[in-house]
Chains A and B, each alone.
Chain A
């Protein structure tokens, strides 16, 4: 039996809309008058649920209302919901940036929060000085930072610039350094807000990998807010779905994501696919004409009839995307789609691909999976590859009726 890391009891957070102005003093005095008579705050009774699209009648809204949950030690919990659902507010309350209006959290362990990358970085100071400053802001002792300094620099991969003021850094380097500091915090509970949207694909992978180590490897508790659902699914095992400040679902992550799709007027049900990449032979480099087989295994039946694949280079830049209707729909359970890529002349050593199944009419993705093709580095001088824009040939093959059809004529 595991112990709880966090218990939230009746957590609510009220915000006042509009300007803080002359009305504030009147409300404050009124509140004070109620308080000295031992009555409840009159403004707590009013207030509406936080639906930003609807014009309300009250100046007060509940950003969070009566949230109760329990998180066990070692859980990786994804918090999802639409913009303004209260995700960030929840993390702010937990990290003590602001306090709840009602209710309480019981916390077991030290909390480290990463609501923003590089908070308190001083542009005039060097990378080295900022590691110490930022580490101290996040609650590390000087000794602790010194001990981990090499690991931090190593993780950030900006060693060359470590004695340069951070104002000379590229935004990517800035983020790398900042995340590296936060990733090395010794805390039992780690709160991470949408911070990985910055940085290149490679570094995002590294960050997710580090967070995965933190939760699965070291058994620490992680709360992760993100709109990147494939990252949430990869990292988390539990999930909280917030909607207009209320906790809708508190369950396993796949069920929570499924519920989330339903709230976004998703018409087709969520499906899961498994992607395997097979190289035909031992690759020294990815030469033109090399055949790479990608097998997409459907783990749930899907109504979607469109397959959509996008390839990105290591900087997250789209190389090309392609979509095409599948011959046979709907796909049954465990049905396999084989994709054969004949390298048309990519010289990148690193490609990542997003594969989505979607329904043509709605445009909603049934599932989006990100996979990485890692190919040994090519020596440009000696390779036979062609650099430039190409028209790739890709064949889709449905296993049962093996008639191949060609896309992009």
Chain B
């Protein structure tokens, strides 16, 4: 069984935000009105967190793309009262929108604040109604959603591979954020496969994970000279 993981090279990342845009379009994520977004109801499956170091004029800005970390021991699935969030055998943490009762316990329990909630009936720009991604179901008001590592792409790839009677190649299954990254800062693949790029990068001396000490075993690795 493969174990899907992501590596983000922060030394390559320019903080342009193309990953966010790709993610929103790929996954039919609702567009929230600016006033609502200001009130903390913005819908991002992949967000960029910014931290600032130093005083003006010597300010250093750190920009870190943050998808769901698809933890191997996810705190969110432990607390879900109805099993609407789960981890499959390939390590992907998913959300069943039609079972979720909207208690938001998983959001409260997630140490990475990775989940978002449909506070209102989801809305999209007028132009986008004709170009939804047909592979991703639309969500309804009152449920929690989050990054799926573009699991819908995996389904297609698996079907192709099965038809051609071969294993999935390294780099064949990639999420939309990686595909759209102009700096090639995002890598994705099977971390258990010793030949994969992700496995090698995750064991690079620059690799670290955010808040590793919590023991939730996130599967998103960051590369940075600083660490």
Q: Do A and B come from one complex?
A: no
Task: Enumerate chain A interface residues (CB-CB to B < 8 A).
Answer: none
